Every structure is written in C-alpha cells, then in structure tokens.
Amino acid sequence: MAQRHHDLTDSAAGAPVTGDALAGYLRARATEFLRALRLQRAGGSHGGTDEAAEAARALRRSARRISGSLHTFRALLDADWSEEIRPELAWLSGTLALEHAYEARLERLLLALQRLSGATAVPGQGAGGGAPLPGTAALPDPAEASTAPRTAPGTAHPPATSRTAGSPAAASRTAGGAPVTSRATGNGAVTSRATGSTSAASRAAGAPADSRATGTATASPGPVATAPAPGPLVERGNLTVGAAKAGALLDRQLTLARTRAHSTALQALGSSRFHAVADKVAVLASEVPLTPDAPGTDLVPLATAAEERLTDAVAALPLVTAGHPYNAEALVHGLSPDTAPHPQDAPWHQVRLLLRLHRYALEVLHDGDCPPDARLIAAGEALDRHRDASEAAAAAAQAARTPRIAPATAYALGVLHADQRHEVEAARYAFQRAWQRPAVTTA
C-alpha cells in the first residue's frame, strides 16, 4: 500500500540536493512572507478588504511552508532557533485561518440545507426567491409558535390571526425564524413587520419561507388553509420549515464566531508576539541558521523520512473499509453525547498534515518548482474535503445542542449532521481511490 514517490528516487539518482537548496527555499518563502505583510498593511490602511484577505492567505501560505520545512529538515538547522520560531509560525497561520474557516463552514452548511430542502433559489436571493415545496403551505411550527412572543418589542399591537388562502403559515414569522407582528391600518390592510433582521441563512434556506415578509399583506376573507394528508410530503415539509430556522441558528452562531476570529486576527497582527515573529522572518530572508555540516548534506534522506511517515500513517487507515462506497462507517457514534471531535477522524487529519509536509519537502528538493503530481493533488483535495465536512458536521451537532429549539429545527440539524458525515465518508472513498492510483506527474 505504501508507494515510493518517483520524484524522490529521481532526485536521489541525480545530483544531490544539499542544505544550500534548503537555505534558498527558506529565503524565498521568507521574502514572500514579508511581501504579503506589506500588502496586508497597505490593504488594511486603505480599507481594501479583498487585498487584505489575499495578503492574509499569502501570509498563511508562506508561514506554513517555512514551519513545515523547519520541521522536516530540523536536523540541518540551529535547534534552538528552529524550535523557537516554528510554534510561533504555526500559531500565526492558525490564527489567520480561523475567520476564513468559519466563513467557508457557514457557506457549506447553508448550501447543504438548501440542497436537502429541495429549494430552487440560489443563496443571495430574497426570502421569496423560491417556491415552497408541495405540502408545506399550511405547516405551522407549533413548538416554535408556543415560545414566540405575542408582540414585537416596542409595539402594543397583537399579531393578526387570520390567514389568506394558500398562504404558507400565514404571517407568523419570517423565513429566518423572526417573529412577525401585524398592524391594522386605516384602510383595512394588515401590515406585517419582522421584528428580527433577516439573516443570510434565512435567505439561503429560501424555499420554505413561512412568511414572505415583503412589507405589506392584505387580509382577505377566504378559506383557511388546511394541512395536507399525512405522507412523505409532510415529513419533507417539516425538514424544509426547520431548515430555515436551522440556517438562521447556524448563521448567528458561525457569524459570531467569525467576528470573534476576525477581532482575534487583528489583535494578533498588532501584537508584540507577531512583531517578534516578523523580525525573525526578516532575519531569515537574509541569513538561514544552518548547522556547519548542512551545506554539504544531502536532503533526500530527510525528505524520504517524511514520505515514509506519510505512508506509514496511510497504512494505518481503514482503506479497505473506505474503498466500499456507502459503508456508513463515518456515521458510527453519530449519536454520542460527547462534544469532543469525532475520534475516527483524527488519523485522517494527521495524514492530511503529513501529506502537506511531504509536498513541502518535494518543493525544497525542486527549488520551489515541484512538478504537479495528479495523485498527490487528488489525495490532498479529498483530505481537505474530509476536514471541512468533519468540522461542518461538528458545527451542526453543536447547534443542535442549543436549548429550547423547536423539534423541526433539531430534526433539520440532525439531518444536516448526517449529511455531512456522509460527505466525510465520500471524501475517504475519494482519498482511497486517489492513493491507490499510480503516481503521475505532469510537466
């Protein structure tokens, strides 16, 4: 199962790659770090959010490569200096990555909710962008209605109780779950007003839209909508109604986490700890603290050791099980009350880190211009999807533990959690297929 990467054997057969190549690689990555730091400061001072985000990604990218190379080739570097700067680079990279991780996680979960609900509207449309599913027009949420406030804060008008014919759960709340109050105007019209802000989640979940909340609604006499006969459409409707509220809950939680991560990143970039790291990287751009024997030492054995650690970790994975589609292994312990990360995911996350170190070692051997390997690229993408799906499932489970949420909301979050665990399983299957493929390098 362990496969020797042919780039390492080719390097071993040719001229030896020595510590001088490592020094040149580290200097180049340090220069990229300093260039990204200047762009980040320029983008922040001029209010360019896109430029600042791209600069932050470049900072993370160069910091990861410096830290990974210091780990793989630490035998050729000053031990005290290497052990001092490597954890600091890992801290910086992790701190800067949190905001983007929360943003991507929220987008992933909202798209999954929309897909599971059968919605046709794309994210970003208004609450009325998609039509409700059949069987959902008259499915009020009694559990949430019992806990909803009778009137909005700051108004003394009671909510309207009449319903228009064919309207979905007549003006009880918005798609994001915010209560809606109704006021009778002088001409007999009933004006509905949402008391909570419509979040991005309610727009993404779009299709259920218990109340369109477009500003005004005229109450007209007509038959009261009745619930459809029990059947599969009713269960699908409950998921759709709950998906809007589940999306709003996830939006609140993950947006708050993203805001905190953004503040933490800003504080980190202005801290003395970060300036100390930047000073060390600035020194690294001009002088790499190699050991006396490093300039003439071959790097291939150290890179080979990194590859062997990767292959040993992959050999410990349950690839035989992962090679069977729909094996449901990722759903094991899905109902565990433990809030710790899923135990079976940790070995896969470790393989992802070791694969990254292996790729960085290949970059050092090829002076930063490593030819792309389709096998390693596919395996890395599968492990990235595995990590993203695992963390998204954990976020859905955490949201489901929120006290006093409606049964439909909890049900939607449970379905969402199972969906993301199935994505974990699919990513493992994709990795197994990619890893068993022969190594192919494209020029």
Of 34, 9, 33, the C-alpha closest to 303 is 9
CA distance to 336, 355, 396, per residue, from 366 (Å): 46, 17, 42
Residue type, 301: P
Q: Please count the other Cβ atoms lying within 10 Å of the Cβ belonging to residue 144.
A: 22
The Cα-based distances of 385 to 206, 360, 362, 391, 423 in angstroms read 25, 20, 23, 10, 8
pLDDT tens per residue, range 291-320? 999 988 999 999 999 999 999 999 999 998
For 170-229, how does the pLDDT look when each residue is reduced to its tens digit (9 = 90+)? Answer: 334 444 444 444 444 444 444 444 444 444 444 444 444 443 334 444 444 444 444 444
Beta bridge partners of 441: 373
> In angstroms, rounded to a whole number, what is the distance separating the alpha carbons of residues 34 and 21?
20
CA torsion angle 68 69 71 77 (round to 10)? -150
Confidence at residue 241, expressed as pLDDT on a 0 to 100 scale:
79
- Amino acid identity of residue 306, one-letter, is A
pLDDT for 317-338, tens place per residue? 999 888 887 777 777 877 777 7
Burial of 153 (0-12, 13-18, 19+ CB in 10 A): exposed
Q: Return the structure tokens found at 68.
A: 């990974």
Tens of pLDDT, residues 2-49:
455 555 655 545 678 999 999 999 999 999 999 999 988 887 655 557
The C-alpha atoms of residue 92 and residue 57 are separated, in whole angstroms, by: 11
Going by C-alpha positions, the residue among 361, 414, 109 that lies closest to residue 258 is 109
Task: Output the CA torsion 38→42→45→51 (10° steps).
Answer: -110
SS3 category, 219: coil
Greatest alpha-carbon pair distance for the chain in Å reads 91
Q: Which of 94-108, 323-337, 366-380 is predicted most confidently?
A: 94-108
Q: Residue 217's beta-bridge partner residues?
A: 190
pTM over 0.85: no
Q: At 441, give phi and psi (nearest 5°).
A: -110, 130
pLDDT (average), residues 98-127:
80
What pLDDT score does 370 carry? 77
d(CA 136, CA 207): 10
